[in-house]
Amino acid sequence: MRQGLRRALSVLAVFGCLPPGGSIHAGPLPFAVELFVPPVIADSQAPVVCTVTYLIADTANNDLFAARMRIAGTEADTAVNNYLPCPAVLPFRVATQALGVCASRGDLKSCLFADMGRGFDRESGIGNTSEAASRCSSDAFSDIAAACWTSGKLSVCDVACGHSPEEALARAQDRCQEKQQRSCPVTATVPVSGP
Amino acid sequence: MGPRRTALLLMLATGQACAQPAAVVPPVAPAGSDAPAVMRILVPPPLQWDNAMLTSRPALQQTASDFANLTGGLAFGMSAPSVNALLPNPYPGLGWNGLSLANEYPGEVRYFGIPISAAGTLRMGLTACAGGGSYIVFLFSDRGLFRLSYRLIADKSCPDTNPAAREIFERYVPIGQTVALSVRYRSGKTEVVDVTDSAAGYLIPPRWRQGIN
């Protein structure tokens, strides 16, 4: 009797009829095992980290660079309207690094902050530019813009921030016209936080 | 070797004499007038700073695939025949020994060039005029391709190649410098955009200088 039961169990095991708990599959597993890989999900509700964007001009060929600096927050930071705060004071090394974004792709001597003073067409040194006025922070503005006039082969520009591309452009043109005492028809804008 | 290729290689060879960086030349601007115009802003990848703003690093992780996606499959380290095979009109029988020497580099660097009009994907969707004699040079060390060099030469039909150079440069600037170093400068009448393997070491600094043609 006991031997008969053992034989019956063996037959059931061979044909895979044993209840769960035993080894069911005798053949080798296929190589194309599709392991479950969770998709990368961006948290669309996460607060936007601080980005400070500088506009840097390469006066050798009139290129404008948007040098974006993302600054990590602290655990104590609280988002306002879903934007994490940016530091109130930025060390100059951040600005230097922004210039470096341009210099590494051209020539250090020709890379300047894009907000230029009156008379920049005659004195085109970095001393005639404004670091603070060439940047916008994501906790305060969504867009940064430049407005320029052309002096011979040189673009003379000024920079402004806005809550929309249109506002940033209008403010940049106002600033340029006020500072340069000229109309500034050449314009450019990008989002502060980037795509 | 066909007459077209011979002419191109000769043209390239005449400009390879000098090793010094190009001098900074007067800036080139968009057409000067009071007419409204929109400038392009170049957007390099962002930098990530720590909270104390002491150190920074690239905020995006980019790889050679990003570069290959942009260039239609080109990758640094490829051999000259492999690069040639990717071009719309490959040169028949092109090999290392048939390439000219680029004398402005230390060590053995060889190159070949193609007209920009026949560069396919590498034209980067150019809309501005580029000049009829403009070309792209592929530079190789014994470790393979390490630099693409766009040389945009103004002519009567295209008196200003700065907008074209900016358009090309604009496409490469978003590639981080851990992958490719893109540099733009001017040498004589030629606008140059160099895109170099960031691992090329001592081959990175030399810039092309237009010879006396």
What is the Cα–Cα distance from A187 to B34, expressed in whole angstroms?
12
Cite the DSSP H helix spans in A59-145: 92-103
Mean pLDDT estimate for chain B: 85
Which residues of chain A does B38 touch, with a Cβ-Cβ cutoff of 8 Å?
186-188
The mean per-residue pLDDT over the stretch A85-105 comes to 95
Break chain A into its structural domains and give their ranges. 50-191
What is the Cα–Cα distance from A169 to A151, expressed in whole angstroms?
20
Is residue B16 predicted with pLDDT exceeding 50? no
In chain A, % of residues over pLDDT 90: 64
ipTM for the predicted complex comes to 0.81
The mean per-residue pLDDT over the stretch A50-57 comes to 97
Q: Smallest Cα–Cα separation from A144: which of A77, A189, A175, A180?
A: A189
With contact defined as beta carbons under 8 Å apart, do A79 and A47 qualify? Answer: yes
Instruction: Write down the pLDDT at residue A83.
Output: 87
Specify the higher pLDDT residue, B211 or B147.
B147
Q: Closest approach of chain A CAs to the CA of B179, in angstroms?
A: 14
Minimum-distance CB partner of A154 among B27, B50, B191: B27
Nearest residue in chain A measured CA to CA from B26: A60
Contact between A70 and B38 using a beta-carbon 8 Å cutoff = no
What is the Cα–Cα distance from B77 to B75, expressed in whole angstroms?
6
Contact between A60 and B186 using a beta-carbon 8 Å cutoff = yes
Cite the DSSP H helix spans in chain B: 3-14, 64-71, 80-86, 162-172
What is the Cα–Cα distance from B123 to B184, expressed in whole angstroms?
16
The model's confidence at residue A3, banded by pLDDT at 50, 70 and 90, is low
Which residues of chain B does A71 touch, with a Cβ-Cβ cutoff of 8 Å?
49, 51, 53
The model carries a pTM of 0.80
Minimum-distance CB partner of A185 among B28, B34, B43: B34
Instruction: Write down the pLDDT at residue A89.
Output: 92
Instruction: Write down the pLDDT at residue A28.
Output: 53
